[in-house]
């Protein structure tokens, strides 16, 4: 018996299920939806497991399902998606390489993460240096486990946990019919090339994907959606959330009453903010090196039905924005709804249909099921997090772009942090081994002191790059998108230094060991003497909607960010789209940019 293809979308306001039968085009055989309590889901993650379980159980009873396997979607701002370039290799070799490198590529502790990857493109072996593009996806295992547990408690079996943006691409990225021969049913296809965007406006999150010929190039999930609009109506009009939701759904009425008219005014500002966040996200893709021209954007999801939303987004993006329709690429079976009702269902179909199609391996497929639930899986793409945690040596150099982070943290920062961590570990081991090896000869104290000097000298000039970048990102005005941050760190050298006097040896004598060239003097009794203000620069490349946004950013940086010190030097030029402004800011590292790994290394030490 053929395996059933069923997708289950746990949204903010409802649980939606769809079953498809593979084919060209595929056929929709089942569709159903049940409502969720208001706070069951928050920003795409389960907040009330019991409510999810109850909704799944009711949905299963409504459509008459037994315990079948379903493909579930997840859309959360905390899911990390990175595209990395790797040398051409087999899947098994790739899995081994990622096991070593994943800890450097994702901001989630490896022991807390569940990961998977998909190969997007592979170069030809005949190329001089063939490479492959790989999509690496990571999520907190606890988050995924709560989702899976709630669904399975409702009587369904979770066969895979996919990403909603990838499911949307899978459902909507196929060629769209633009003409048909009435006599033969032959279809002419639009093959104009370029990139297409897909934006799903949900209740609590907004999922964004940009693809080129069905291959995802950019993925982002915003932690805001239609819920902000509902809350604005409730606040401005002084009505309960349920009434505010009903008013939001009535915004498109051609003859609105006074309450609907007031609701239209209430949603205008939060809708502008949401649409501007979408524009900033898509502009991030546009500003990437090698990106192709964006030709159109499709919108879907419940909140995409707001009157005027496609037109407003189109004005911001400068490209056509259209509602997403599946009728041209999906046959409709007997799903219990009339043809007149189908347009009302359209905004809720792409996610569950795309999830179901993942079972046919259509498009880019990811599975983030927790390891303990997927040990029988035969998919070679899964990355074993236990193997990653055990890996101690990096064997492959990777460069990647973070899709879901608001600001791209440069690969240079990652490499710097990794290298410094490795140096610290190796020096610590060498210090311990040489101290023990020399103890019997009377040279242990001297060698230990010199090694302690080396360690302190390196760590005393440490730079806390991540907090620095976080502090900059906190003051970004709306519409400003950072495309890259480059940091330089100048390590000071000491050509002359006072001799270090170690403790007496076992024989009762005292020796003086001069610091070696290039190492700052450190008193072993006070490692804090190695602390110096870091020396270096920070360069930020970004885009802004106008000059005023850059001025606002400069004011905020000068007032609030002490990790870097001005004056900020800035260069500005018109963006490639002829509308945005691209700029570069340069400044020096400040005293508070110093990291504190010196204190972490020498436990019990506190340096000012």
pLDDT digits (tens, 9 = 90+) for 54-71: 999 999 999 999 889 999
Answer yes or no: is pLDDT of 24 > 70. Answer: yes
Of the candidates 502, 501, 467, the one whose C-alpha atom is nearest the C-alpha of residue 487 is 467
Cβ contacts of 93-97, under 8 Å, gap ≥ 24? 94/119, 94/132, 94/134, 95/380, 95/381, 95/382, 95/383, 97/395, 97/396
Return the closest-CA partner of residue 16 out of 334, 345, 241, 343: 345
DSSP-derived pairing of the beta strands 215-222 and 206-212? antiparallel
What are the φ/ψ torsions at residue 67 (nearest 5 degrees)? -80, 85
Average pLDDT over residues 426-430: 52
Termini Cα distance of the chain: 70
- Cβ atoms within 10 Å, residue 373: 18
The span from the CA of 120 to the CA of 166, in Å, is 12
CA distances from 431 to 439, 446, 576, 595 (A): 12, 11, 54, 22
Q: Using H for helix, E for strand and C for coil, what is the string for 250-289?
A: CCCCCCCCHHHHHHHHHHHHHHHHHHHHHHHHHHHHHCCC
Q: Indicate the burial class of 218 (C-beta count within 10 angstroms; 0-12, 13-18, 19 or more).
A: buried
Decide: residue 588, CB within 10 A, 0-12 exposed, 13-18 middle, 19+ buried. middle
State the helix-helix crossing angle for 411-438 and 444-459, rounded to 10 degrees. 170
Query: Which percentage of the chain shows pLDDT scores above 70?
Result: 73
**pLDDT tens digits for 551-605?**
788 878 877 777 776 656 566 766 655 567 888 888 888 777 777 777 777 766 7
Task: Give me the half-sphere count of Cα atoms (radius 13 Å) on the Cβ side of residue 247.
Answer: 28
Residue 250 CB coordination number (10 Å): 14
Range from 303-312, 405-414, 471-480, 537-546 that averages highest in pLDDT: 303-312
Number of H helices, E strands in the chain: 16, 23
Q: Please state, in angstroms and as integers, the Cα–Cα distance from residue 214 to each residue in 211, 364, 365, 462, following that order.
A: 5, 8, 12, 44
Q: Does domain 1-79+113-118+134-174+329-398 have CATH number 3.30.420.40?
A: yes
Q: How would you class 442 by CB atoms within 10 Å of its CB: exposed for 0-12, middle for 13-18, buried for 19 or more? A: middle
Q: Are 549 and 479 in contact (CB under 8 A)?
A: yes
Nearest to 214 by CA among 198, 231, 236, 227: 198
Contact 42, 204 (CB under 8 A): yes
Query: Would you state the pLDDT for residue 109?
Result: 86
Start-end of CATH 3.30.420.40 domains in the chain: 1-79+113-118+134-174+329-398
Backbone φ, ψ for residue 405 (5° rounding)? -80, 145
Q: What are phi and psi of 550, to 5 degrees?
A: -65, -40
Q: Quick one: pLDDT band at residue 530, thresholds 50, 70, 90?
A: confident
- In angstroms, how far is CA 70 from the centroid of its own chain? 25
Taking residues 498-521, what's their average pLDDT?
A: 38
Beta partners for 14? 35
Joined together, the tokens standing for residue 113 give 């993460």
Residue intervals in the chain for CATH 3.30.70.60: 411-601
Residue with tokens 């279809």: 187
CB atoms within 10 A of CB 381: 19
Distance CA 558, CA 564 (A): 9
Residue 480 has a pLDDT of 85
Cα–Cα distance measured from residue 249 to residue 253, given in angstroms and rounded to the nearest whole number: 9
> How many Å apart are CA 263 and CA 356, to the nearest integer?
37
**pLDDT over 70 (residue 428):** no
Write down the CATH number for the domain with range 411-601: 3.30.70.60
User: What DSSP designation does 305 have?
Assistant: G
**Three-class DSSP category at 71:** strand
The least confident of 134-138, 216-220, 332-336, 464-468 is: 464-468
- Give the pLDDT band of residue 43 (cuts 50, 70, 90): very high
- In terms of Cβ atoms closer than 10 Å to its own Cβ (0-12, 13-18, 19+), residue 606 is exposed
* One-character DSSP codes across 93-125: HHHHHHHHHHHHH-SS-GGGEEEEEEEEEE--T
Q: Which residues of 382-414 are buried (b: 16+ CB within 10 A; e: fewer)?
A: bbebeebeebeebeeebebbbbbbbbbbbbbbb
pLDDT of residue 386: 40
d(CA 270, CA 255): 23
The pLDDT value given to residue 124: 72
CA distance 563 to 561: 6
Nearest to 317 by CA among 199, 178, 462, 187: 199
Q: Average pLDDT of the chain?
A: 78
Q: What is the Cα–Cα distance from 246 to 227, expressed in whole angstroms?
A: 12
pLDDT reading at 402 higher than 60: no
Per-residue pLDDT of 167-191, as tens digits, reads: 999 999 864 333 333 333 333 334 4
The total of other beta-carbon atoms located within 10 Å of residue 271's CB is 22
Q: What is the pLDDT of residue 520?
A: 44
Most confident of 267-281, 398-412, 541-555: 267-281
Whether 494 has a pLDDT exceeding 70, the answer reads: no
Say yes or no to pLDDT of 323 above 80: yes
DSSP letter for each residue of 509-548: ----BPPPTT----BTTBGGGG----EEEEEEEEEESSHH
């Amino acid at each position: 018996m053929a395996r059933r293809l069923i997708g289950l979308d746990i949204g903010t306001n409802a649980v939606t299920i769809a079953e498809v039968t593979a084919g060209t085009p595929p056929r929709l055989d089942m569709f159903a939806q049940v409502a969720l309590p208001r706070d069951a889901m928050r920003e795409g993650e389960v907040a009330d497991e019991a409510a999810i379980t109850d909704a799944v159980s009711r949905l299963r009873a409504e459509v008459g399902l037994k315990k079948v396997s379903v493909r579930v979607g997840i859309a959360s701002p905390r899911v990390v998606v990175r595209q990395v370039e790797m040398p051409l290799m087999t899947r098994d070799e790739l899995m081994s390489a990622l096991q070593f490198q994943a800890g450097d590529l994702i901001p989630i502790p490896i022991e807390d993460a569940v990961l998977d990857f998909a190969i997007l493109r592979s170069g030809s072996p005949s190329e001089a240096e063939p490479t492959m593009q790989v999509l690496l996806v990571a999520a907190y295992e606890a988050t995924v486990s709560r989702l899976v547990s709630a669904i399975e408690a409702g009587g369904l079996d979770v066969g895979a946990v996919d990403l909603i943006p990838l499911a949307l691409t899978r459902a909507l990225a196929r060629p769209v019919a633009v003409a048909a021969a009435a006599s033969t049913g032959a279809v002419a296809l639009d093959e104009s090339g370029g990139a297409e965007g897909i934006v799903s406006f949900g209740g609590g999150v907004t999922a964004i994907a940009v693809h080129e010929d069905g291959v995802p190039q950019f993925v982002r999930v915003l932690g805001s959606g239609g819920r902000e609009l509902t809350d604005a109506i409730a606040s401005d009009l002084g009505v309960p959330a349920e009434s505010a939701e009903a008013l939001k759904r009535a915004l498109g009425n051609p003859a609105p009453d006074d309450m609907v008219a007031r609701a239209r005014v209430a949603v205008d500002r939060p809708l502008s903010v949401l649409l501007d966040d979408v524009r900033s996200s898509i502009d991030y893709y546009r500003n990437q090196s090698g990106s192709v021209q964006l030709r159109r954007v499709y919108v879907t999801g419940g909140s995409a039905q707001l009157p005027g939303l496609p037109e407003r987004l189109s004005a911001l993006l400068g490209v056509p924005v259209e509602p997403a329709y599946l009728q041209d690429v999906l046959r409709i079976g007997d799903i219990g709804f009339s043809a007149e009702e189908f347009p009302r269902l359209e905004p809720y179909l792409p996610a569950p249909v795309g999830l179901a199609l993942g079972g046919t391996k259509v498009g880019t497929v990811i599975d983030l099921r927790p390891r303990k639930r997927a040990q029988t899986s035969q998919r070679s793409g899964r990355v074993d997090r236990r193997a990653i945690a055990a890996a101690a040596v990096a064997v492959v150099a990777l460069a990647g772009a973070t899709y879901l982070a608001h600001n791209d943290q440069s690969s240079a920062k990652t490499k710097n942090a990794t290298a410094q961590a490795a140096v610290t570990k190796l020096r610590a081991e060498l210090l311990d081994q040489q101290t023990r090896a020399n103890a019997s000869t009377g040279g242990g104290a001297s060698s230990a002191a010199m090694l302690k000097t080396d360690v302190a000298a390196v760590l005393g000039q440490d730079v806390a790059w991540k907090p620095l970048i976080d502090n900059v990102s906190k003051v970004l005005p709306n519409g400003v998108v950072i495309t890259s941050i480059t940091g330089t760190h100048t390590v000071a050298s000491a050509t002359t230094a006072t001799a270090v006097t170690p403790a007496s040896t076992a024989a009762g004598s005292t020796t003086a060991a001069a610091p070696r060239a290039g190492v700052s003097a450190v008193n072993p009794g006070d490692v804090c003497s190695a602390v110096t203000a870091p020396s270096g620069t920070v360069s930020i490349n970004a885009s802004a909607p106008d000059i005023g946004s850059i001025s606002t950013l400069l004011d905020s940086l000068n007032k609030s960010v002490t990790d870097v010190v001005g004056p900020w030097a800035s260069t500005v030029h018109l963006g490639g789209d002829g509308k945005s402004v691209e700029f570069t800011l340069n400044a020096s590292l400040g005293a508070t940019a110093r990291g504190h790994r010196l204190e972490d290394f020498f436990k019990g030490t506190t340096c000012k």
